């Protein structure tokens, strides 16, 4: 049993003001694997005060020096990456090989992309030749509250804490209480890398406690949140009173549009992408839209792919999916599967209950529904589990209509060998991202959505500039004095 009851505030580990224990559950076994403390108002206030006190000095630190400090975080990761991956695997159920190969490496991947973008920033830039005495200065916004989820925990920490610190902001992180251990290791990385006291702070807590306190705190200038659309709305309301900047990366219900001329791997790729991370990804392609002429064949192929997906404990090596994060999540997914059955969708793989041979752990059977129609619950709502809905379409216009008929707008996918049609689809789909024919986004491309998926743009130069404010200066007379 791991016990981590302290918070990282002002460069040191401190006991919470009024300790309230919280068990961290290993979803593979349903047993407690750690005990942490949840913070209260006094802890939030202490962390924000430390960040506020550190902000002037950190904002004035030369960019090259901030860069060097952040780079040293990567050295700490390299020395402890196996420990890091094991923590993620245990606390949120990611199979250990997946944690080692995809979850933990999010930290160096995003950090290196941010460093590349950081090197290209003009901190003081001319407005243009038409206004030679007007300059635009890019300045850090101030103290930022970072609220991160459990499903890709270090991915979101890297997309928030790293650019915030590079930009010259100071921050207070509230990780999910479901997966706090990796965040506490990240705090150790920051400490050992020489991040100055108060620049990075961590307070564990829940959304109703520390999350709400950060969102309404008068000394926090910005909230960066990743999580559910419901929670995003609550944060926006709480932050409105103090006129904070709020960036939200929320849910999704991505459409994967498969035309008759899609490549031979498109269906398998789509199913496996859906099952990746046990379906617990906001950008999962959870609606597979299939051209009518190949519909029956695709349904059969997709079912066979899903039936071959193995499910097993996070501690075991190999290619399989693990459990979902907790009992509440498992119950919700079972409810969605039952809804699909009740509303008339055709179950072609998986279904209710635990996978065969399992009697403990929050495991879900890889599930596929065919003959799903627009408006069904499983077609409208984000399930956040390994459940795929297959929907037929007649032509390109019909596909666009179905794909866009959703409250969400995070990622859509297109599978066709007709390049002109692919580009036309990309411009027609209402989402922050479109991925075509299995091609991933380029390094540093922005991650974010529209509509109920929020409007954050994380990663690369866009992710850095979310933490900066533009100051217009007229009457500029020359260069800054040498430091």
Compute φ and ψ for 4, nearest 5 degrees.
-135, 85
Q: How many CA atoms lie less than 13 Å away from 71 in the CB half-sphere?
A: 10
User: Is-contact 350 310, C-beta < 8 A?
Assistant: no
Active-site annotation holds for 190: no
Compute φ and ψ for 321, nearest 5 degrees.
-100, 150
Active-site annotation holds for 249: yes
Tell me the Ramachandran region of residue 299: left when phi exceeds 0, alpha when psi lies from -120 to 50, beta otherwise: alpha
| Annotated catalytic residue, options 6, 91, 221, 249 | 249
- Give the other-Cβ count within 10 Å of 301's Cβ: 16
- Give the other-Cβ count within 10 Å of 408's Cβ: 26
Q: What is the DSSP string of 326-391?
A: -HHHHHHHHHHHHHHHHTT-EEEE--SSSPTT--SS-----EEEES--TT-HHHHS---SSEEEEE
User: Collapsing DSSP states into helix, strand and coil, what is residue 269?
Assistant: helix
Running DSSP on this structure, what letter comes out for residue 261? T
Q: Which pair of tokens denotes residue 371?
A: 């003959």
| Annotated catalytic residue, options 169, 171, 190, 282 | 282
Length, in residues, of the chain: 483
User: Is-contact 91 181, C-beta < 8 A?
Assistant: yes
- Residues serving a catalytic function are 249, 282
């Amino acid at each position: 049993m791991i016990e981590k009851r302290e918070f990282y505030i002002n460069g040191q580990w401190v006991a919470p003001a009024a300790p309230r224990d919280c068990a961290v559950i290993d979803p593979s076994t349903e047993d407690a694997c750690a005990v942490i403390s949840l913070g209260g108002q006094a802890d939030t206030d202490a962390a924000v005060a430390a960040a506020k006190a550190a902000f002037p000095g950190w904002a004035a630190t030369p960019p090259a020096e901030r860069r060097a400090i952040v780079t040293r975080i990567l050295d700490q990761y390299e020395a402890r990456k196996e420990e890091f991956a094991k923590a993620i695997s245990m606390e949120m159920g990611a199979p250990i090989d997946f944690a080692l190969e995809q979850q933990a490496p999010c930290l160096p991947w995003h950090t290196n992309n941010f460093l590349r973008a950081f090197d290209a920033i003009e901190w003081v830039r001319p407005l243009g030749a038409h206004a030679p005495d007007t300059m635009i200065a890019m300045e850090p916004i101030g103290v930022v509250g970072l609220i991160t989820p459990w499903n890709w925990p270090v991915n979101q920490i890297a997309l928030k804490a790293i650019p915030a610190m590079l930009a010259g902001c100071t921050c207070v992180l509230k990780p999910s209480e479901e997966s706090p251990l990796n965040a506490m290791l990240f705090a150790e990385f920051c400490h050992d890398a020489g991040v100055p006291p108060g620049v990075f702070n961590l307070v564990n807590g829940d959304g109703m406690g520390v999350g709400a306190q950060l969102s309404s705190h008068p000394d926090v200038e910005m909230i960066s949140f990743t999580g559910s659309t419901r929670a995003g709305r609550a944060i926006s309301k709480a932050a409105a009173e103090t006129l904070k900047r709020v960036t939200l990366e929320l849910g999704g219900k991505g459409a994967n549009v498969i035309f008759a001329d899609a490549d031979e791997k498109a269906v398998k790729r789509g199913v496996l992408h859906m099952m990746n991370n046990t379906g617990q990804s906001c950008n999962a392609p959870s609606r597979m839209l299939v051209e009518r002429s190949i519909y029956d064949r695709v349904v059969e192929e997709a079912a066979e792919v899903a039936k071959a997906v193995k499910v097993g404990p996070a501690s075991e090596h190999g290619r399989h999916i693990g459990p979902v994060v907790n009992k509440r999540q498992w119950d919700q997914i079972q409810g969605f599967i039952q809804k699909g059955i009740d509303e008339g969708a055709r179950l072609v793989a998986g279904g209710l209950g635990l996978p065969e041979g399992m009697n403990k752990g929050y495991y879900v059977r890889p599930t596929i529904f065919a003959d799903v129609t627009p408006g069904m619950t499983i077609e409208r709502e984000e399930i956040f589990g390994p459940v795929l809905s297959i929907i037929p379409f007649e032509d390109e216009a019909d596909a666009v209509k179905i794909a866009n008929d959703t409250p969400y707008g995070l990622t859509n996918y297109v599978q066709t060998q007709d390049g002109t049609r692919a580009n036309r689809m990309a411009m027609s789909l209402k989402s922050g991202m479109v991925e075509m024919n299995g091609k991933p986004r380029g390094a540093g491309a922005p991650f974010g959505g529209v509509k109920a998926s929020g409007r954050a743009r994380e990663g690369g130069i866009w992710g850095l500039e979310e933490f900066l404010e533009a100051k217009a200066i007229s009457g500029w007379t020359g260069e800054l004095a040498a430091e």
